Amino acid sequence: MENKKTNSPSAFERMASSVTKASGSSIAFMLAITTILVWLISGPFFSYSDTWQLVINTGTTVITFLMVFLIQRSQNKDSKAVHLKLNELLASNARASNRLVCIEDLSEEEMKVLQKFYEHLALKTKQALPIHESHSIDEAEIQYNQKINNKKLTDKNRQQSQT
């Protein structure tokens, strides 16, 4: 029997995504404020007892504990998506260094070597051109035209290979 992988997220992933979005909303913040106000107002009715204090301490501890993992999961997913997008940009640009694809897998020492390279490159660029001269409208026009021409050439080559 063939095992097909679907693109639909799992029930847990949908729930985690929903909770993450909801917990960052204004409504969630207002709900938290309301909960604290209700707890404060209820203090005199419970004579500010240890149990009264324990309720808020336990509630906030449990929620914080769960949210740490949920937020970390969300950040991991977002980080992975950003890395993949950056990898795609690097891979698609002929002038970009492919050494930077999956740079997050390099050791700290390897990253320091690359950092020195880019610091040197930035220094050279700064010495050659002031920042306000490093990009221009003309340069943007040239880059746009090159991109359009490359796309037309790619489309033409694709059509020729199909015939």
pLDDT recorded at residue 2: 45
pLDDT recorded at residue 6: 59
Q: Does pTM top 0.75 for this prediction?
A: no
pLDDT recorded at residue 59: 94
- Residue 77's Cβ-count burial label (10 Å; 0-12, 13-18, 19+) is middle
**Residues 65, 125: Cα–Cα separation, whole Å:** 47
**Residues 78, 71: Cα–Cα separation, whole Å:** 10
Angle at 136 between CA 148 and CA 100, to 5 degrees: 65
Residue 151 covered by a domain: no
What value does the mean pLDDT of the chain take? 86
Give Cα separations from 47 to 51, 60, 85 (angstroms): 10, 21, 56
Residue 132 covered by a domain: no
Residue 54 covered by a domain: yes
Residue 76 covered by a domain: yes
In the chain, which residues have pLDDT < 50? Answer: 1-3
- Cβ contact 102:87 at 8 Å: yes
Q: 3-state class of 117 per DSSP?
A: helix
pLDDT more than 90, % of the chain: 39
Residue 157 covered by a domain: no
Go through 118-142 and write b for each residue having 16 or more CB atoms within 10 A of its CB, e for each that does not: eeeeeeeeeeeeeeeeeeeeeeeee
pLDDT recorded at residue 137: 77
Domain total in the chain: 1
Residue 44 covered by a domain: yes
Helical H segments across the chain, by residue range = 11-23, 26-42, 50-92, 108-128, 137-162
Residue 71 covered by a domain: yes
Structure tokens at 34: 């309301």
- Cβ contact 29:37 at 8 Å: no
* Structural domain span for residue 26: 9-96
pLDDT recorded at residue 124: 83
Residue 120 covered by a domain: no
- Residue 57's Cβ-count burial label (10 Å; 0-12, 13-18, 19+) is exposed
